C-alpha cells in the first residue's frame, strides 16, 4: 500500500516553519506534515486538532521536557509531574503544561519550533 498523496506542498524558504505551525494550531488541523531535506532525508510531524502529537526522525531526538528545562521554562519537578500525568491522563505533554499554566501558548509554540528544528 502506498502513502497518500499530499494535500499541499511547499518550500520552507518561502513559508517559515513557524508560520506553518501557527496555521496548523489556529485551524486545529489533524494529519501529518512531512519535511524532506535536499538529500532526501524525511521527518514527519503528526498533529491532532492542531497540537503536535508525534514526531518521527531517523536522527537522535530531544524531548520537549528536556528542551523546556534547557530553556529555563520548567524545572525537573514540573517535568516529572507532567510526564506522570501524560501516562495516567493520556494527554500530550505540551497540552498538560498549558492546562496547568506552566507555559503560555506562545512559549509552547516557540519551543515546539525549536524542537522540530533540532529534530529535522
In contact, 26 and 105? CB cutoff 8 Å: no
3-state secondary structure of 53: strand
In contact, 83 and 65? CB cutoff 8 Å: yes
pTM of the entire structure? Answer: 0.55
In contact, 36 and 42? CB cutoff 8 Å: yes
Specify the range with the lowest mean pLDDT, choosing from 47-51, 53-57, 86-90, 105-109: 53-57
- Percentage of the chain lying above the pLDDT 90 cut: 52
CA distance 14 to 93: 30
Q: How many helices (H) and strands (E) does the chain have?
A: 5, 3
Give residue 115's pLDDT: 84
CA distance 112 to 65: 10
The domain segmentation of the chain, as residue ranges, is 17-119
H or E element that contains 110: helix 105-119
- pLDDT digit string, tens, across residues 66-116: 999 999 999 999 999 999 999 999 999 999 999 999 999 999 999 988 887
Amino acid at each position: 500500500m502506498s502513502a497518500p498523496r499530499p494535500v499541499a506542498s511547499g518550500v520552507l524558504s518561502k513559508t517559515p516553519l513557524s508560520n506553518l505551525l501557527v496555521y496548523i494550531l489556529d485551524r486545529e488541523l489533524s494529519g501529518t506534515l512531512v519535511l524532506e531535506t535536499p538529500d532526501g532525508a524525511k521527518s514527519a510531524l503528526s498533529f491532532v486538532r492542531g497540537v503536535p502529537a508525534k514526531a518521527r526522525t531517523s536522527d537522535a531526538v530531544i524531548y520537549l521536557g528536556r528542551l523546556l528545562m534547557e530553556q529555563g521554562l520548567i524545572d525537573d519537578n514540573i517535568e516529572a509531574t507532567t510526564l506522570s500525568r501524560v501516562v495516567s491522563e493520556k494527554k500530550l505533554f505540551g497540552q498538560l503544561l498549558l492546562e496547568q499554566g506552566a507555559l503560555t501558548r506562545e512559549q509552547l509554540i516557540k519551543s515546539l519550533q525549536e524542537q522540530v528544528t533540532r529534530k529535522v
